[in-house]
C-alpha cells in the first residue's frame, strides 16, 4: 500500500499514537506522520504510507489552516487550557470587535514568535518540554513565521465578563505556534490569554472533507476499500515549482543526474518537483550549490528498477 492517508486526529492522542495504531490496523511498518499535533488538538494529519514517506517533509513544510479559540483573562504554563494558571487579570468593561480586528490585522504578515517552553523545539539537543518538565528555563530561539490570513469566525459587536473567549480562523506557514499566537493576541489587547481550543482544518492540499477517522480507516481496511481513500504522492508536491521532463531525461533523473536549470525555474526558491510527461513525480531537485545554472537531486522518488 502506497500513498497519503488523510487522518482526522482525535483529541487525547499524540501523532505518534496515531501512527502506532495505524501500523496495527494496516499491518505495515513504513508509516509516518507529517507534523506533530498536540494531544488536545484535533484535525487534519496526513499519514504517509510506503514510498510516500519520502515526501512527508514536503507536506510538513506546506501551509496550514486552523480554527481556534482564544480565552482572555488568564495565561497558562503551556499557553493552552491544559496548563496551570500563571497570570490572571479580569477583563474590565468590554472588548469590541473593532479592537480585536485591529489586533488581528497587526499580526498578519511576517511576525516573530518565541516557541513555548512546552514544545518539541530542540535546544542543545534536548526538547523544550523536557526542560520544562524538569523546571529548567532555557533561552528559546525566536523565529519568523508568516500569517497569511486571520479572521474572526463569530458574529458579535462586543464581549464582556471577567473572562471572554472568541473563535478565529488562521492560514499560516509551517512552524507557527497557534498557542503563542493566542497569547500575542491577548498581550496586544492588554490581558493575559491562552488558547482554549484548536483544530487543524487544512494541511497542504488536504482538508477536513478528505479525512477519515481511525474507526473509518479500520472499517475500510477490513472490507478492502481503503486504497480508494489514499491520495497520490503527487498531491504532496503540488505547491512546489514544477519541471516536466520527457522520457529520455526521466531515465537520467532516475539515475540521479545533475541537470541544467530550465529557464522558467531560474528564480525558483527552494525545492523543485520533477514530473514525467504522464504526471508522475520522479524526484525533488534543488539549485546546485557550486555549479551555477544547474540543479541536483535532493531526493529520488522513482528509481530505476
pLDDT single digits (tens) 17-70: 999 999 999 999 999 988 788 888 999 999 999 999 999 999 988 899 999 999
pLDDT of residue 131: 77
Residue 91 has pLDDT above 90, yes or no: yes
Q: What are phi and psi of 43, to 5 degrees?
A: 140, -170
Whether the Cβ atoms of residue 274 and residue 299 lie closer than 8 Å to each other: no
pLDDT single digits (tens) 69-81: 999 999 998 899 9
Q: Which residue has the cell 541544467?
A: 260
pLDDT of residue 115: 76
Q: Is 38 a catalytic residue?
A: yes
pLDDT single digits (tens) 122-174: 777 777 778 778 777 777 788 899 999 999 999 999 999 999 999 999 999 98
What Rg, from alpha-carbon coordinates, does the chain have?
22
Query: Which one of 38, 80, 171, 235 is the catalytic residue?
Result: 38
pLDDT of residue 142: 87
Strands 259-260, 242-245: pairing kind: unpaired
Residue 106 has pLDDT above 70, yes or no: yes
Q: Which segment of 110-119, 184-193, 246-255 scores lowest on mean pLDDT? A: 110-119
Residue 120 has pLDDT above 90, yes or no: no
pTM of the model: 0.88
pLDDT of residue 182: 96
Q: Which segment of 140-144, 185-189, 210-214, 251-255 scores lowest on mean pLDDT? A: 140-144
DSSP string, the chain: --EEEEEEEPTT--HHHHHHHHHHHHT-S-EEESS---TT-EEEEEEEEGGGGGGHHHHHHS-EEEEEEEEESEEESSSBTTSPEEEE-PPPSEEEHHHHHHHHHHTSEEEEE---SSS--EETTEEHHHHHHTT-------EEEEEEEEEE-S--SEEESSSEEEEEEEEE-TT--HHHHHHHHHHHHTS-EEEEEEEEEEETTEEGGG-B-HHHHHHHHHTT-GGGGPBPHHHHTTTS-EEEE-HHHHHHHHTT--EEPPGGGTT--S-EEEEETTS-EEEEEEE-SSSTTEEEEEEESS---
pLDDT of residue 304: 55
Dihedral of CA 169/173/179/180: which sign? negative
Domains along the chain with CATH numbers: 3-62+204-235 (3.30.2350.10), 68-192 (3.30.2350.10), 240-300 (2.30.130.10)
pLDDT of residue 305: 57
What's 66-96 look like in SS3? EEEEEEECEEECCCECCCCEEEECCCCCEEE
Residue 302 has pLDDT above 90, yes or no: no
pLDDT single digits (tens) 249-298: 999 999 999 999 999 999 988 899 999 999 999 999 999 999 999 999 99
Mean residue pLDDT of the chain comes to: 92
Mean per-residue pLDDT for 78-93? Answer: 91
Q: What are phi and psi of 239, to 5 degrees?
A: -90, -10
Amino acid at each position: 500500500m502506497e500513498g497519503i492517508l488523510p487522518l482526522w486526529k482525535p483529541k487525547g492522542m499524540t501523532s505518534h499514537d496515531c501512527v502506532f495504531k495505524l501500523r496495527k490496523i494496516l499491518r505495515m511498518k513504513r508509516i509516518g506522520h507529517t507534523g506533530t499535533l498536540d494531544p488536545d488538538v484535533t484535525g487534519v494529519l496526513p499519514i504517509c504510507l510506503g514510498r510516500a514517506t519520502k515526501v512527508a517533509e514536503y507536506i510538513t513544510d506546506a501551509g496550514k489552516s486552523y480554527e481556534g479559540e482564544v480565552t482572555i483573562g488568564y495565561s497558562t504554563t503551556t499557553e493552552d487550557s491544559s496548563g496551570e494558571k500563571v497570570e490572571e487579570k479580569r477583563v474590565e468593561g468590554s472588548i469590541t470587535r473593532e479592537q480585536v480586528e485591529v489586533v488581528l490585522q497587526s499580526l498578519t504578515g511576517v511576525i516573530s514568535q518565541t516557541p513555548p517552553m512546552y514544545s518539541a523545539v530542540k535546544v542543545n539537543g534536548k526538547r523544550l518540554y523536557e526542560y520544562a518538565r524538569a523546571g529548567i528555563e532555557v533561552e528559546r530561539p525566536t523565529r519568523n513565521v508568516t500569517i497569511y490570513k486571520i479572521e474572526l469566525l463569530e458574529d458579535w459587536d462586543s464581549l464582556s465578563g471577567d473572562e471572554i473567549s472568541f473563535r478565529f480562523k488562521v492560514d499560516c506557514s509551517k512552524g507557527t505556534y497557534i498557542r503563542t499566537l493566542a497569547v500575542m493576541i491577548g498581550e496586544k489587547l492588554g490581558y493575559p490569554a491562552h488558547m482554549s481550543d484548536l483544530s487543524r482544518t487544512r494541511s497542504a492540499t488536504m482538508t477536513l472533507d478528505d479525512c477519515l477517522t481511525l474507526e473509518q480507516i479500520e472499517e475500510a481496511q477490513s472490507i478492502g476499500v481503503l486504497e480508494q481513500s489514499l491520495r497520490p504522492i503527487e498531491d504532496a508536491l503540488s505547491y512546489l515549482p514544477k519541471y516536466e521532463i520527457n522520457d529520455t531525461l526521466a531515465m537520467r533523473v532516475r539515475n540521479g543526474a545533475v541537470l541544467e536549470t530550465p529557464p522558467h525555474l531560474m528564480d525558483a526558491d527552494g525545492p523543485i518537483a520533477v514530473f514525467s510527461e504522464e504526471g508522475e513525480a520522479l524526484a525533488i531537485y534543488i539549485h546546485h550549490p557550486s555549479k551555477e545554472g544547474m540543479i541536483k537531486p535532493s531526493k529520488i522518488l522513482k528509481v530505476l528498477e
